[in-house]
Amino acid sequence: MTTQEQDPRDGAIDRRWAMGAACLWAIAAVLAAVYLLTPASSGGPPDPGPAAVATAAAAPSTTGAPTRTTAAAPSTSTTTTATAPSTTTTTTTSPPLLFAAGGDVIGDRRVGAFIDAHGGEAVLAPVKTYLEEAHLAFVNLESPISDKGARNTAKEYTFRSRTALAGGLAAAGVDVVSLANNHTLDYGSKALLDTLERLDDAGVAYAGAGADRRAAEAPALLITPAGIVKVLAFTEIIPGGFAATAEHPGVNATTPDRERVLASIAAAAETADFVVVSFHWGTEYTGQATREQRRLAHRAVDAGADLVLGHHPHVIQGLELYRSHLIAYSLGDFVFDHYSRITGEAFVLQVSLPKEGPPSFTAIPVYLDEDGVPAPVSGEEAHVILDRLSSLSADLGLTISREGDRAFYTPDP
């Protein structure tokens, strides 16, 4: 074999080297493709791109206006970028509960005639703005709303409100009413059950009466941006046959079993962010709360009540802070025809309830006209009402500040 001749084995070796090199290049190409398709941040999602970020930014907030049945959940903002491996999450905290309350409401007698002439919405129109400002607004409904039933002839005073009042309450921003009082069964069980149906249809919650004892004892449950609120209502004033039983509709009576009342409050506090307790109690046309009112109110707070509201005296009684919890012993009348100056004096109580710490509140004076319709007052008329409220509250150890036509309390920081 000369030097110009090539061994056939050399060609085979060259071919094997070429094939090996080609395989290595193919493997390298696959690895490069895998690398390029893998996200830059280890284990993280790919960059969502400008369109996805704009869509998230434009999404409506979930902390909007409250509803009676759906919570406005606190919003959670999550932002992810391609260059930052970490994810930043910000969660808002719940605001204080804003609660507005008024006193006794009927839709009969001269108020009923007013509703006949002007409609159900007109009766609370002058004070509507003060109720709508709150997450929840409350009144004591001192009569059935019905055109059914038969009058209880054993009672001297009986009420049955015009059916248009149910829509009027809802239109004014009233979210929940107490039915635990001495007039709810003035026209019997048929009118009470009709009332419950009409309130349900209007979207107004209720507590303190029901188709049987279990229903009467049940709290109204309302969901707000501030959290879950339960409203319990009890009456100390119990005409014969008014108390609910296992088989009979009626009201939620406090007596004689105080421990049952306190156990109901404690149970509500276990599953709610705020518990509001309403009592129908006291002595009519008397501005001073009785010793028993104060004792029961204090025990209610000890059991878990965040706010205690009272009615029945038809006049204003004082406000008290007990263990940093507000007690309003009587809010007076709110929609009620009357026959004296003092029974026409009333106020809207606006309370801000934080989850921790004492509340703040504002009292807005109103006066009921000859038809029993409330309207805000100013100047000397306002001062007369606020002077009375301030004096009665001072007797209970609470000093209320005054500015213009408003009284208020703000806790020290």
Write the pLDDT tens digit of every residue in 68-83. Answer: 333 333 333 333 333 3
Please say if the pLDDT value at position 17 is more than 70. Answer: no
pLDDT-derived band at 10 (thresholds 50, 70, 90) equals very low
Closest CA to 241 of 172, 316, 186: 186
What strands, in cross-sheet order, belong to the sheet with 325-328? Answer: 220-224, 227-235, 274-280, 307-311, 325-328, 319-322
Please report which confidence band the pLDDT of residue 13 belongs to, taking 50, 70 and 90 as the band edges: very low
pTM as predicted: 0.79
Has residue 197 got a pLDDT over 60? Answer: yes
Residue 213 pLDDT greater than 60, yes or no: yes
Arithmetic mean of pLDDT, 160-167: 98
Q: State the chain's mean pLDDT as an integer.
A: 84
Predicted local confidence at residue 190, as pLDDT? 98
Confidence of residue 328 (pLDDT cuts 50, 70, 90): very high
Stretch 310-319: mean pLDDT, rounded? 98
Contact 309, 276 (CB under 8 A): yes
Of all residues in the chain, what percent carry a pLDDT higher than 90? 76
256 falls in which pLDDT band (50, 70, 90)?
A: confident
Residue 59 vs residue 340, higher pLDDT: 340
Pairing of strands 406-409, 374-376: unpaired
pLDDT at 160: 98
State residue 100 phi and psi, 5-degree precision: -115, 140
d(CA 129, CA 108): 24
> Which pLDDT score is estimated for 12?
43
At 403, is the pLDDT very low, low, confident or very high (cuts 50, 70, 90)? very high
What is the residue type of 181?
A: N
208 band by pLDDT with thresholds 50, 70 and 90: very high
Distance (Å, whole) CA 134 – CA 222 = 13
Name the residue with higher pLDDT: 257 or 35.
Answer: 257
Confidence band, pLDDT 50/70/90 cuts, at residue 91: low
User: What is the model's pLDDT at position 234?
Assistant: 98
Q: Which among 141, 75, 132 is positioned nearest to 98, based on CA atoms?
A: 132
Q: Are 268 and 304 in contact (CB under 8 A)?
A: yes
Confidence of residue 15 (pLDDT cuts 50, 70, 90): very low
Question: For residue 329, what pLDDT is reported?
Answer: 98
- The band of 286, judged by pLDDT with boundaries at 50, 70 and 90, is very high
Q: Return the beta strands (E) in 164-316 as ranges.
A: 176-178, 205-207, 209-210, 220-224, 227-235, 250-251, 274-280, 307-311
Mean pLDDT of the 200-221 span:
98
State the first-to-last Cα distance of the chain, in angstroms, to the nearest integer.
109
Residue 60: the pLDDT is 32
DSSP letters for 121-158: GGGTGGGHHHHHTSSEEEEEE-S-B-S-S---TT-SS-
Residue 339: the pLDDT is 87
Each residue of 95-144: pLDDT tens digit? 999 999 999 999 999 999 999 999 999 999 999 999 999 999 999 999 99
Taking residues 160-183, report their average pLDDT: 98
Q: Which residue has the tokens 């004082």?
A: 318
pLDDT at residue number 93: 83
